[in-house]
Amino acid sequence: MNILLEEQGLRDGLQTLPTLVPLEIKVAWVHRLIEAGLKRIQVASFVHPRLVPQMADAEALFAQLGRRSDVVLSALVLNQKGVVRAIDAGVQHLAISLSASETHSLKNTRMTLAAAKVDFRENLRLAQQHHITVRAGIQCAFGCRYEGQIDPQHVLDLVKHHADAGANEIALADSTGMANPRQLKTLMEQVLDVAGDLPVSLHLHNTENKGLANVYAGLEAGVRQFDTAFGGLGGCPFIKNATGNIATEDTVHLLHQMGYETGLDLKKLASLSQDIAQFLEMPLPGALYKLMQEPIQVC
Protein backbone atom coordinates (compact mmCIF):
# COMPACT_ATOMS: atom_id res chain seq x y z
CA MET A 1 0.00 0.00 0.00
CA ASN A 2 1.34 3.42 -0.94
CA ILE A 3 1.67 6.36 1.40
CA LEU A 4 2.21 9.91 0.09
CA LEU A 5 4.49 12.11 2.17
CA GLU A 6 4.55 15.86 1.67
CA GLU A 7 7.92 17.28 2.69
CA GLN A 8 7.45 20.56 4.57
CA GLY A 9 10.93 21.10 5.96
CA LEU A 10 11.59 24.09 3.70
CA ARG A 11 8.43 25.84 4.86
CA ASP A 12 7.34 24.66 8.31
CA GLY A 13 10.86 23.58 9.21
CA LEU A 14 12.68 26.77 8.29
CA GLN A 15 10.07 29.44 8.99
CA THR A 16 10.93 29.99 12.64
CA LEU A 17 14.72 29.68 12.32
CA PRO A 18 16.82 32.74 13.09
CA THR A 19 19.42 31.82 10.43
CA LEU A 20 18.35 32.75 6.90
CA VAL A 21 18.95 29.93 4.44
CA PRO A 22 20.21 31.31 1.10
CA LEU A 23 18.18 30.69 -2.03
CA GLU A 24 20.76 28.50 -3.75
CA ILE A 25 20.93 26.22 -0.68
CA LYS A 26 17.14 25.84 -0.65
CA VAL A 27 17.21 24.95 -4.35
CA ALA A 28 19.90 22.33 -3.74
CA TRP A 29 17.88 20.81 -0.89
CA VAL A 30 14.74 20.62 -3.05
CA HIS A 31 16.72 18.82 -5.75
CA ARG A 32 18.05 16.33 -3.22
CA LEU A 33 14.51 15.73 -1.91
CA ILE A 34 13.32 15.02 -5.45
CA GLU A 35 16.31 12.72 -5.92
CA ALA A 36 15.26 10.87 -2.73
CA GLY A 37 11.84 10.24 -4.28
CA LEU A 38 9.60 12.97 -2.83
CA LYS A 39 6.56 13.57 -5.03
CA ARG A 40 5.24 16.56 -3.14
CA ILE A 41 7.24 19.33 -1.51
CA GLN A 42 5.93 22.47 0.15
CA VAL A 43 8.78 24.83 -0.58
CA ALA A 44 7.56 28.20 0.68
CA SER A 45 4.77 30.35 2.03
CA PHE A 46 3.62 33.63 0.52
CA VAL A 47 3.42 35.65 3.71
CA HIS A 48 4.68 39.06 4.73
CA PRO A 49 8.48 39.04 4.52
CA ARG A 50 8.73 41.20 7.62
CA LEU A 51 6.79 38.61 9.65
CA VAL A 52 8.60 35.59 8.20
CA PRO A 53 11.93 36.69 6.70
CA GLN A 54 12.82 33.07 5.87
CA MET A 55 10.06 33.03 3.24
CA ALA A 56 10.92 36.38 1.61
CA ASP A 57 12.40 34.56 -1.40
CA ALA A 58 9.25 32.56 -2.21
CA GLU A 59 8.87 34.01 -5.73
CA ALA A 60 12.56 33.60 -6.48
CA LEU A 61 12.49 30.00 -5.27
CA PHE A 62 9.56 29.05 -7.53
CA ALA A 63 11.27 30.84 -10.44
CA GLN A 64 14.50 28.90 -9.86
CA LEU A 65 12.76 25.55 -9.53
CA GLY A 66 10.58 26.02 -12.62
CA ARG A 67 7.55 23.96 -13.57
CA ARG A 68 8.07 20.24 -13.12
CA SER A 69 6.02 17.24 -14.10
CA ASP A 70 7.73 14.78 -11.72
CA VAL A 71 6.93 16.52 -8.44
CA VAL A 72 4.24 18.82 -7.04
CA LEU A 73 5.77 21.98 -5.60
CA SER A 74 3.36 23.52 -3.16
CA ALA A 75 3.08 26.69 -1.11
CA LEU A 76 1.11 27.93 1.86
CA VAL A 77 -0.90 31.16 1.88
CA LEU A 78 -2.81 32.91 4.64
CA ASN A 79 -4.76 35.56 2.75
CA GLN A 80 -5.78 36.98 -0.63
CA LYS A 81 -2.52 38.83 -1.07
CA GLY A 82 -0.72 35.51 -0.70
CA VAL A 83 -2.97 33.88 -3.30
CA VAL A 84 -2.27 36.68 -5.79
CA ARG A 85 1.48 36.37 -5.23
CA ALA A 86 1.27 32.60 -5.68
CA ILE A 87 -0.69 32.98 -8.93
CA ASP A 88 1.90 35.41 -10.23
CA ALA A 89 4.67 32.99 -9.26
CA GLY A 90 3.03 30.20 -11.28
CA VAL A 91 2.33 27.97 -8.25
CA GLN A 92 0.15 24.95 -9.05
CA HIS A 93 -0.70 23.63 -5.58
CA LEU A 94 -1.71 25.77 -2.61
CA ALA A 95 -2.49 25.09 1.03
CA ILE A 96 -5.19 27.39 2.45
CA SER A 97 -6.68 26.83 5.88
CA LEU A 98 -9.07 27.80 8.64
CA SER A 99 -8.68 27.30 12.35
CA ALA A 100 -11.17 25.12 14.20
CA SER A 101 -10.57 27.33 17.23
CA GLU A 102 -12.41 30.65 17.33
CA THR A 103 -9.83 32.09 19.75
CA HIS A 104 -6.91 30.96 17.63
CA SER A 105 -8.60 32.39 14.53
CA LEU A 106 -9.13 35.74 16.23
CA LYS A 107 -5.58 35.93 17.57
CA ASN A 108 -3.93 34.66 14.40
CA THR A 109 -5.99 36.33 11.66
CA ARG A 110 -8.08 38.91 13.54
CA MET A 111 -11.15 37.26 11.98
CA THR A 112 -14.01 35.39 13.58
CA LEU A 113 -14.46 31.92 12.17
CA ALA A 114 -17.53 33.10 10.25
CA ALA A 115 -15.53 35.89 8.59
CA ALA A 116 -12.58 33.54 8.01
CA LYS A 117 -14.90 31.11 6.20
CA VAL A 118 -16.02 33.80 3.75
CA ASP A 119 -12.41 34.84 3.20
CA PHE A 120 -11.39 31.21 2.76
CA ARG A 121 -14.00 30.56 0.06
CA GLU A 122 -12.99 33.68 -1.87
CA ASN A 123 -9.32 32.68 -1.75
CA LEU A 124 -10.12 29.13 -2.81
CA ARG A 125 -12.22 30.37 -5.74
CA LEU A 126 -9.54 32.82 -6.84
CA ALA A 127 -6.84 30.14 -6.77
CA GLN A 128 -8.97 27.59 -8.64
CA GLN A 129 -9.86 30.17 -11.29
CA HIS A 130 -6.15 30.15 -12.01
CA HIS A 131 -6.05 26.36 -12.21
CA ILE A 132 -4.38 25.91 -8.84
CA THR A 133 -5.13 22.75 -6.88
CA VAL A 134 -6.22 23.72 -3.37
CA ARG A 135 -5.57 21.68 -0.26
CA ALA A 136 -7.99 23.00 2.33
CA GLY A 137 -6.70 22.79 5.87
CA ILE A 138 -8.17 22.78 9.35
CA GLN A 139 -5.81 24.08 12.04
CA CYS A 140 -6.19 23.10 15.71
CA ALA A 141 -8.22 20.10 14.57
CA PHE A 142 -7.29 18.03 17.63
CA GLY A 143 -7.00 20.69 20.31
CA CYS A 144 -5.99 24.28 20.90
CA ARG A 145 -3.55 25.70 23.44
CA TYR A 146 -6.08 28.49 24.10
CA GLU A 147 -9.33 26.57 24.09
CA GLY A 148 -8.21 23.09 25.02
CA GLN A 149 -10.44 20.45 23.47
CA ILE A 150 -12.13 21.09 20.15
CA ASP A 151 -15.57 19.58 19.51
CA PRO A 152 -15.10 16.78 16.95
CA GLN A 153 -18.48 17.63 15.36
CA HIS A 154 -17.20 21.15 14.72
CA VAL A 155 -14.20 19.70 12.87
CA LEU A 156 -16.47 17.46 10.81
CA ASP A 157 -18.61 20.49 9.93
CA LEU A 158 -15.49 22.25 8.69
CA VAL A 159 -14.52 19.24 6.57
CA LYS A 160 -18.00 19.40 5.00
CA HIS A 161 -17.60 23.17 4.57
CA HIS A 162 -14.31 22.65 2.71
CA ALA A 163 -15.75 19.88 0.55
CA ASP A 164 -18.85 21.95 -0.28
CA ALA A 165 -16.62 24.91 -1.16
CA GLY A 166 -14.97 22.73 -3.81
CA ALA A 167 -11.62 22.01 -2.15
CA ASN A 168 -9.48 19.49 -4.00
CA GLU A 169 -8.03 17.97 -0.84
CA ILE A 170 -8.52 18.16 2.92
CA ALA A 171 -5.78 18.47 5.54
CA LEU A 172 -6.11 18.32 9.32
CA ALA A 173 -3.36 19.88 11.39
CA ASP A 174 -2.08 19.28 14.91
CA SER A 175 0.68 21.88 14.92
CA THR A 176 0.95 21.90 18.71
CA GLY A 177 1.12 18.12 19.07
CA MET A 178 -1.91 17.84 21.35
CA ALA A 179 -3.64 14.96 19.55
CA ASN A 180 -3.62 11.56 21.15
CA PRO A 181 -3.84 8.41 19.03
CA ARG A 182 -7.19 7.17 20.29
CA GLN A 183 -8.88 10.54 19.73
CA LEU A 184 -7.20 10.94 16.34
CA LYS A 185 -8.20 7.49 15.10
CA THR A 186 -11.86 8.04 16.02
CA LEU A 187 -12.02 11.48 14.45
CA MET A 188 -10.14 10.51 11.28
CA GLU A 189 -12.47 7.59 10.60
CA GLN A 190 -15.34 10.09 10.63
CA VAL A 191 -13.40 12.67 8.61
CA LEU A 192 -12.69 10.12 5.88
CA ASP A 193 -16.40 9.32 5.76
CA VAL A 194 -17.38 12.97 5.37
CA ALA A 195 -14.57 13.71 2.88
CA GLY A 196 -15.72 10.92 0.58
CA ASP A 197 -13.48 10.81 -2.49
CA LEU A 198 -11.33 13.76 -1.47
CA PRO A 199 -7.78 12.91 -0.41
CA VAL A 200 -7.22 13.61 3.28
CA SER A 201 -3.85 14.30 4.84
CA LEU A 202 -2.53 14.76 8.37
CA HIS A 203 -0.08 17.42 9.50
CA LEU A 204 1.38 16.20 12.81
CA HIS A 205 3.95 17.59 15.20
CA ASN A 206 6.01 15.69 17.74
CA THR A 207 5.69 18.36 20.44
CA GLU A 208 4.61 15.87 23.12
CA ASN A 209 6.49 12.88 21.65
CA LYS A 210 3.27 11.43 20.24
CA GLY A 211 4.02 12.16 16.57
CA LEU A 212 4.55 8.63 15.31
CA ALA A 213 1.88 7.24 17.63
CA ASN A 214 -0.52 9.56 15.83
CA VAL A 215 0.82 8.47 12.42
CA TYR A 216 0.09 4.88 13.40
CA ALA A 217 -3.40 5.82 14.59
CA GLY A 218 -3.98 7.74 11.34
CA LEU A 219 -2.94 4.72 9.31
CA GLU A 220 -5.29 2.52 11.33
CA ALA A 221 -8.10 4.96 10.50
CA GLY A 222 -7.25 4.78 6.78
CA VAL A 223 -5.22 7.99 6.26
CA ARG A 224 -2.70 7.66 3.43
CA GLN A 225 -1.10 11.12 3.28
CA PHE A 226 1.13 12.77 5.88
CA ASP A 227 3.20 15.93 6.10
CA THR A 228 6.76 15.54 7.39
CA ALA A 229 9.90 17.67 7.71
CA PHE A 230 13.55 16.67 7.26
CA GLY A 231 15.13 15.85 10.61
CA GLY A 232 11.90 16.78 12.39
CA LEU A 233 12.74 20.46 12.01
CA GLY A 234 10.12 23.03 12.93
CA GLY A 235 8.18 23.65 16.06
CA CYS A 236 5.78 26.18 17.35
CA PRO A 237 6.99 29.77 17.55
CA PHE A 238 4.93 30.20 20.69
CA ILE A 239 6.05 27.16 22.67
CA LYS A 240 9.58 27.33 24.00
CA ASN A 241 11.47 24.03 23.77
CA ALA A 242 8.87 22.55 21.44
CA THR A 243 10.17 19.95 19.03
CA GLY A 244 8.98 20.11 15.47
CA ASN A 245 7.16 18.26 12.78
CA ILE A 246 7.35 14.50 12.59
CA ALA A 247 10.71 13.73 10.94
CA THR A 248 10.60 12.54 7.34
CA GLU A 249 13.19 9.81 7.90
CA ASP A 250 11.59 8.56 11.14
CA THR A 251 8.19 8.38 9.44
CA VAL A 252 9.57 6.62 6.36
CA HIS A 253 11.34 4.07 8.56
CA LEU A 254 8.15 3.40 10.53
CA LEU A 255 6.13 3.02 7.32
CA HIS A 256 8.62 0.67 5.69
CA GLN A 257 8.81 -1.44 8.85
CA MET A 258 5.05 -1.81 8.81
CA GLY A 259 5.06 -2.90 5.16
CA TYR A 260 3.92 0.33 3.51
CA GLU A 261 5.55 1.67 0.36
CA THR A 262 6.62 5.27 0.06
CA GLY A 263 8.89 5.28 -2.98
CA LEU A 264 11.43 7.09 -0.80
CA ASP A 265 15.12 6.36 -0.29
CA LEU A 266 15.75 6.42 3.46
CA LYS A 267 19.53 6.66 3.11
CA LYS A 268 19.32 9.70 0.85
CA LEU A 269 16.84 11.37 3.19
CA ALA A 270 19.02 10.69 6.24
CA SER A 271 22.09 11.96 4.44
CA LEU A 272 20.29 15.20 3.53
CA SER A 273 19.16 15.72 7.13
CA GLN A 274 22.73 15.15 8.32
CA ASP A 275 23.92 17.86 5.94
CA ILE A 276 21.10 20.22 6.97
CA ALA A 277 21.96 19.74 10.66
CA GLN A 278 25.56 20.52 9.82
CA PHE A 279 24.58 23.59 7.78
CA LEU A 280 22.31 24.89 10.56
CA GLU A 281 24.96 24.01 13.16
CA MET A 282 22.43 22.35 15.44
CA PRO A 283 21.11 18.86 16.05
CA LEU A 284 17.63 18.28 14.64
CA PRO A 285 15.00 16.41 16.69
CA GLY A 286 14.76 13.39 14.35
CA ALA A 287 16.20 10.04 15.48
CA LEU A 288 16.93 8.06 12.33
CA TYR A 289 19.33 10.48 10.63
CA LYS A 290 21.50 10.32 13.76
CA LEU A 291 21.29 6.54 14.08
CA MET A 292 22.24 6.20 10.40
CA GLN A 293 25.31 8.41 10.72
CA GLU A 294 27.37 5.35 11.50
CA PRO A 295 26.56 1.67 11.32
CA ILE A 296 24.97 0.35 14.51
CA GLN A 297 27.41 -2.08 16.02
CA VAL A 298 25.65 -4.31 18.45
CA CYS A 299 22.39 -5.16 20.16
Q: Which sequence positions are flagged as catalytic?
A: 236
- Which residues, in sequence order, are CB contacts of 19 under 8 Å at separation 6+? 280
Q: Dump the DSSP string for 167-197.
A: -SEEEEEETT----HHHHHHHHHHHHHHHTT
Residue 257 · residue 38 · CB < 8 Å: no
Residue 146 · residue 176 · CB < 8 Å: no
Q: Dump the DSSP string for 191-248.
A: HHHHHTTS-EEEEEB-TTS-HHHHHHHHHHHT--EEEEBGGG----TTSTT---BPBH
| Interface with a second copy, residue 218, by CB under 8 A | no
| Interface with a second copy, residue 1, by CB under 8 A | no
Indicate which single residue of 242, 269, 272, 277 sits in contact with a second copy (rule: CB under 8 A).
242
Indicate which single residue of 1, 24, 257, 281 sits in contact with a second copy (rule: CB under 8 A).
257
Q: What would the x/- binding string for a second copy be over residues 144 to 183, using CB under 8 A?
A: xxxx----------------------------x---xxxx
> Given the complex with a second copy, which of 193 and 220 has the nearer CB atom?
220
Name residue 230's amino acid.
Answer: F
Identify the CA nearest to 65 among candidates 84, 94, 42, 82.
Answer: 42
| Interface with a second copy, residue 223, by CB under 8 A | no
CB of 209 to a second copy, least distance (A): 4
> Given the complex with a second copy, which of 179 and 192 has the nearer CB atom?
179
Instruction: Return the bridge partners of 72, or none.
Output: 40
| Interface with a second copy, residue 279, by CB under 8 A | no
Q: What would the x/- binding string for a second copy be over residues 50 to 89, using CB under 8 A?
A: ----------------------------------------
> Given the complex with a second copy, which of 45 and 243 has the nearer CB atom?
243
| Interface with a second copy, residue 131, by CB under 8 A | no
